[in-house]
Every structure is written in structure tokens, then in C-alpha cells.
Amino acid sequence: MIDDHKHGIMTVELPTLLLQFQPEGEELKSRQKYDQAARQFVKQLDNVSAAHWLKEADTPQDVLEILNPAVNSIAYAFTLRHRIAAAVNKKSLPDSAQPGGALWNKLVLFLETFDPVQMRYAGQEWKKLVDYVEPLAHNAGSPGLAIAPIRSAMIRLDPTTGTFTSTHVDFMRLCLETRSYAAAEPILDNYIHSLPSHIPTVVREGFEYSVPCADVARSGEYIHRLSGHSDKVTIIDVQEYYVLGAMAYLGLRQFTKARHFLEHVLVMPAANVANGLMLEAYKKWVLLSCLVPGEAKNIPRSANATAIKQVRSASKAYEAVAEAYTHLSNMPKLKAQINAGAQTWAEDGNTGLVKAVLDSQMRAYVSRLSRTFSAIPVSNIARNVGGSADETAQYLETLIEEGYLNARLEQTDKPEAGIVLRFYLDPTQGPLAKSEKQQQQALFEQTLRTNALADQVKDADYRLTLTKEFIENLKRQQKRQGASGDAMDTAWDDGIEEEDIMVDL
């Protein structure tokens, strides 16, 4: 039906044109047809001149009133984008584009309700609309207002938010700037499983099940280098995302996750050199290794050894702190190390983290006691750490409440013992105990996660086979095999070839 109106841009009224693409229509049940129609529609709208879009704005016939953002998402996106562009280009920003204004509200409504499948085709519009949110909010002096709409736009487009886009980095910057660490969490918890790659057109188009609108399509398939959803992504962007993400986790005091995020930076491919972000990541990683109890302190194996050596030699002060941290019987040492490096931490912006390390040493000391003792008078602990028994008891109480210790405090009748810290020896008892059912549930959830991840790995593997380099290498290999086969033909003792000849005879 769109074909009929191919040359009708100037003749057909804008509203009519915009309503031509009906994603729910009978004709578009076939995914392949839908794909063609959607592409065609986007191409058509691209050709409409800017002036057209502004006609009848703010009248009852305004297309923005006629169109439903959740149904006519492509059309709505184009219209909205042109309207905002016009507003932003004015000398002073009209009120309607300010947060709370009509246009702003439409933008937010759109980002929260658009049809994700249609937006797979209008990548550029999506990107531009998302990019408007932050400057508008900033301009009004409350950048925090931008977070929710951007995040919703990301999640609607790709529920896994696992295909990396430049929006990811922008979003993280915004969250850190406004200190909205918790707001970043839903995005951070979804791991990055794909980077926008170059998918050959042959693979991209024409197959029933691999068109972007297919139900089974993964975000890595509709967000790619040419889809317009993202600016060009560089390695620095990816690194920055992980470092910023780790910092957000730090803000939430989720040390394990922060440490895992930093490891992503450490394992990035490197031509035997490190860069600043890697150094930054390594420094924080060393400190975090102290805060995460019981984990192996080894650098992931796939990291580039030379690069790691470089960052290590530039982070001596940090390693000294980590080393001092392990001397639980000599706590003043850590304090001395930390005081000695005060300037370094301040310059690197790690003062807060270093302080957290210092605070946690006491905790590590107490939890190490659980490996040695089943019960110990609080006065003994107080003597070792230097403090009164009451203070120590209070401190222990908070540790138990915060879930760091599987233990209880009890009053004994023995006068020399006083208050006693008693650890639960059996892991199935005490406040931190996990029942078998809980364990099973956790295992079950983990299985699901791992399976999903395994699929992502398979996908990544598949994408790898689509790259030019892979194919060229394959070609080269085949050629080499072919060449050696030719050489063998002339060799006098090629048994297999001779046998073939015999068969032919």
C-alpha cells in the first residue's frame, strides 16, 4: 500500500502520510513484509522537509495529538524530533520544551511508551530524541530529571540493555554527575553481551527470521554500526563505561560487583600497553580486593601480562596498602601506609575508597576470629584492638546486624568473661544461615543466568564469523590447503591421489 504513494509526498497531506504505516495491519503479519514496509516508511519520512513537520503545530489538528506514540511510534518520533529541533534552535528556549512543558512531557511520554520494534528501524530518530533529554534537563538546572526517561528509552529498545551504545556511557556520566547510583543499577546489572558490529547487508536483510523486527531477534542484531542507535563506539567508551559503572557500584557499596566491573577493563585486548583508564581500574581493583572478602586476589588470566606489569609498576602505593591490609595483627601499619600516601589518594580521587579499606580492616579481623574461635570474651577482642569492652560490643552488634558475622553476643554468668561473642559453627544456623531451599533457589537462578550467558557467547561467536577478517583468514586457509594439495599432486608418493585415480579408472 505504501508503494502507491511513493511519489506522493508533496501531494499527500502529512497526517495521511504519517498514518500510512500501520504496524498492526493484516498485511504486515509476515515479518518480511513488515521489514520492507518499515524501511520504506523511514526512507519516506527522511525525505519530508523540515518546514512540513512544523505545519499546524499547536493546533487541534497537530499530528502529535493525532498520533499515538505507542502505536505510530516511527511517525511520532520523526515529528517530535523536528519539533524539538525547531524549539532548541530558537534564541531562547520556549517554555514548552522546558521540563514540565508540553513538548518535554510528550518527549518523556514517548520515551516511556514507544513501540520497541518500530524503533529498531528509526535508530537515528531514537538516538536524537534520547540525546535531547539531557541538555534540556541540564538547561533547567536539574539534570537528574533526565535519568528516568533515558533509562526507560534504553530498556524499551533493548530489554537486556546488553548491546553497548554511546548512550550507555552518556547515561553513566549523567548518573555519576548527579550521584544517582541506584538509578544506574538496573542498567549495570545487565551485562554487556554485544558491541555494535558490522553486519553484512546480506545477513541483515531478506531472511524471515533475521530481520530486525523478528520476535527472536537479539539486540546485537538490530543495534549495529549502521542502525543509527549509537555513535561510533571506541575502546575508550567501553573502558569508561566499566570504570564509571564500578564507581557507581562503589557508591552503592556493592564491592563485589564493582570489582567484577573493573576486571572487564583489565582483560581488554591490549597490544602490550596499558592506558590511563586501565591504570585507574587497576588501582581501584587493588583496593577492592581488600574489601571483597574471601575472593582470590589473582588478576584474570586472560589479561595482557605486559600491560598489567605496566600498571602494576605505576601503582606501588596501592599494592603497599593491600599488603598492609593483610597484617591483621598489625593494624597501625595500614594506617601508616594510608597516611603516607594521602596525597596520592587525593590526586587519584580514591580517598573515599582508601578510607573504606581502613574501616573494613577491623571487620576482617573480627571475621577472621570466626575461623579460630567458637566463643571469645569481648574483653579479649577489645584488648587486641585497643578499645573499651563496651565500645567493642557495640561495634560487634552492628556487624552482626549488618550481616557481616554469623554470630551472637551473649551475657555469661562467669564474671571474668563478661559479654561473649559466640560464632555459629554450623552454617545452617544463625542469622546468616541459608536453608537448603534458598540454596536450591539460588542455584536454579544461577543456572538460568549461565544458560542465557552461554547463548550470548554463541551469538558473539556467530558475529565473529561474519567479520571480514574471519572470512579473509578462512579464505587464506582454504587457499593454502588448496595450494598444498596442488603441490602434492606433483609429489611422487601421494597415495591418496593415486587411489582416486584408480577409482576413476
Q: Which one of 440, 473, 478, 481 is in contact with other proteins (CB under 8 A)?
A: 440
The verdict on 124 binding other proteins (CB under 8 A) reads no
The verdict on 380 binding other proteins (CB under 8 A) reads yes
Query: Rounded to the nearest 5 degrees, what angle is found at the Cα of 355, between the Cα atoms of 332 and 421?
Result: 65
Kindly state the helix (H) or strand (E) to which residue 411 belongs, with its residue range: strand 407-411
End-to-end CA distance of the chain: 62
Q: Which one of 43, 55, 335, 355 is in contact with other proteins (CB under 8 A)?
A: 355
Smallest distance, Å, CB 284 to other proteins?
Answer: 9
Closest CA to 277 of 237, 232, 217: 237
- Cα 202 to Cα 93, 124, 205, 484, distances in angstroms: 45, 22, 6, 32
Smallest distance, Å, CB 167 to other proteins?
Answer: 17
Please identify which residue in the block is written with the cell numbers 520492507: 36
The number of angstroms, rounded, from the C-alpha of 457 to the middle of its chain's C-alpha atoms is 16
The verdict on 251 binding other proteins (CB under 8 A) reads yes
- 116-126 burial: b if 16+ Cβ within 10 Å, else e: bbbbbbbbbbb
Smallest distance, Å, CB 286 to other proteins?
Answer: 15
Is 130 or 250 the residue whose CB approaches other proteins more closely?
Answer: 250
Q: Of 147-176, which residues contact other proteins (CB under 8 A)?
A: 173, 176
The verdict on 263 binding other proteins (CB under 8 A) reads yes
Smallest distance, Å, CB 383 to other proteins?
Answer: 12
Angle, helix 235-251 to helix 276-291, in steps of 10 degrees = 30
Smallest distance, Å, CB 220 to other proteins?
Answer: 9
Q: Which one of 10, 216, 271, 491 is in contact with other proteins (CB under 8 A)?
A: 271
Could you say which DSSP state residue 162 is in? -
The verdict on 446 binding other proteins (CB under 8 A) reads yes
Smallest distance, Å, CB 299 to other proteins?
Answer: 11
Q: Which one of 235, 342, 474, 483 is in contact with other proteins (CB under 8 A)?
A: 235
> Residue 177 has which C-alpha cell?
554527575
The verdict on 425 binding other proteins (CB under 8 A) reads yes
The verdict on 335 binding other proteins (CB under 8 A) reads no
Q: Which one of 1, 454, 471, 474 is in contact with other proteins (CB under 8 A)?
A: 454
The verdict on 420 binding other proteins (CB under 8 A) reads yes
> Residue 250 has which C-alpha cell?
562503589
Spatial neighbors of 475 by CB under 8 A, at least 6 apart, are none
Is 69 or 143 the residue whose CB approaches other proteins more closely?
Answer: 143
Please identify which residue in the block is written with the cell numbers 498520533: 67
The verdict on 352 binding other proteins (CB under 8 A) reads yes
Phi, psi of 163 (to 5 degrees): -95, 120
The verdict on 477 binding other proteins (CB under 8 A) reads no
The verdict on 473 binding other proteins (CB under 8 A) reads no
Is 434 or 479 the residue whose CB approaches other proteins more closely?
Answer: 434
The verdict on 194 binding other proteins (CB under 8 A) reads yes
Task: Work out the burial of residue 482: count CB atoms within 10 Å of its CB; fewer than 13 is exposed, 13-18 middle, 19 or more buried.
Answer: exposed
The verdict on 187 binding other proteins (CB under 8 A) reads no
**Sign of the alpha-carbon dihedral angle for 222, 227, 231, 235:** positive
Single out the segment in contact with other proteins by CB under 8 A; choices: 65-73, 133-141, 453-461, 487-495: 453-461
Smallest distance, Å, CB 88 to other proteins?
Answer: 24
Whole-number Å distance between alpha carbons of 313 and 487: 52
The verdict on 456 binding other proteins (CB under 8 A) reads yes
Task: Work out the burial of residue 337: count CB atoms within 10 Å of its CB; fewer than 13 is exposed, 13-18 middle, 19 or more buried.
Answer: buried
Smallest distance, Å, CB 450 to other proteins?
Answer: 5
The verdict on 95 binding other proteins (CB under 8 A) reads no
Closest CA to 81 of 233, 228, 234, 237: 228
Q: Of 399-418, which residues contact other proteins (CB under 8 A)?
A: 412, 414, 417
Smallest distance, Å, CB 347 to other proteins?
Answer: 8
Is 442 or 487 the residue whose CB approaches other proteins more closely?
Answer: 442
Determine contact, residues 271/278, Cβ cutoff 8 Å.
no
The verdict on 195 binding other proteins (CB under 8 A) reads yes
The verdict on 374 binding other proteins (CB under 8 A) reads yes
Determine contact, residues 381/421, Cβ cutoff 8 Å.
yes
Is 99 or 220 the residue whose CB approaches other proteins more closely?
Answer: 220
Whole-number Å distance between alpha carbons of 425 and 401: 18
